[in-house]
Every structure is written in structure tokens, then in C-alpha cells.
Amino acid sequence: MREWHIEHMQKTIVKFVTELSENASSWQRKQYKKYNNIANVCRNIDYDIKHGVTNEEVLSFVDKVRNDSTYSDLQDNAVSMERLDEIKRYVLGSRNKRNK
């Protein structure tokens, strides 16, 4: 089950940092606007952490998206990198809160 949560965390992050395509349907745009925000992403990441994913795994995946060549399309997009920074700040902040 832990593996599922790792995959879920990775899909959640990639979906959040990926922009909506220009030819998306109205339903896709509505769903993107409704669910693809930092609050929902943080809630999903917290859920995955609760079920076995560590903060280090989240941070290492964020670094992988930032540096790995398989995510080069996201690396070229400034908005995607800003969104990745938002996730990283959240995870670092939540880790500091848990350690206190």
C-alpha cells in the first residue's frame, strides 16, 4: 500500500506543476480550476505522508522533477518551477512543525 501512496504523491505533484493544455475541454478546465490548487495538493501530500511516504521522499521527488531530463518539458516552464517551489516550501515548513 505504501508504494501506491508514493505513486499517488508523484502523480499529484506532476499534475500540479503541469499546466492545462490549450485544447482542454470545458469540463477539464473546470476540474483543473477546482482541484489543481496548492491547498488540495498539500492535503493530498499530507494524506500520503500519513500513510507511509516520508518528507525526504517528497523532497527527493521534487528535486528529481527539477533536475532529471525526463521532466525537461516542466523544467523549461517558469510557472512549473514556481509551483514546485511552493510544494517544497510547504513540505519543509510542515517538517519543521512536526519536529517541534
pTM of the model: 0.86
What's the pLDDT band for 97 if we cut at 50, 70, 90? low
Q: Which residues constitute the domain of residue 9? A: 2-99
Q: What is the tens place of the pLDDT at every residue in 58-90?
A: 999 999 999 999 999 999 989 999 999 999 999
Q: What's the CA gap between 90 and 45, in Å, rounded?
A: 10
What's the pLDDT band for 6 if we cut at 50, 70, 90? very high
Contact 5, 51 (CB under 8 A): yes
* Total tally of structural domains belonging to the chain: 1
Question: What's the count of helices (H) and strands (E) in the chain, helices before strands?
Answer: 6, 0
Q: How far is CA 97 from CA 22, 56, 57, 80, 90, in A?
A: 39, 15, 17, 26, 11
The predicted model gives 41-52 an average pLDDT of 94
Q: How far is CA 42 from CA 24, 34, 36, 73, 90, in A?
A: 24, 14, 11, 23, 7
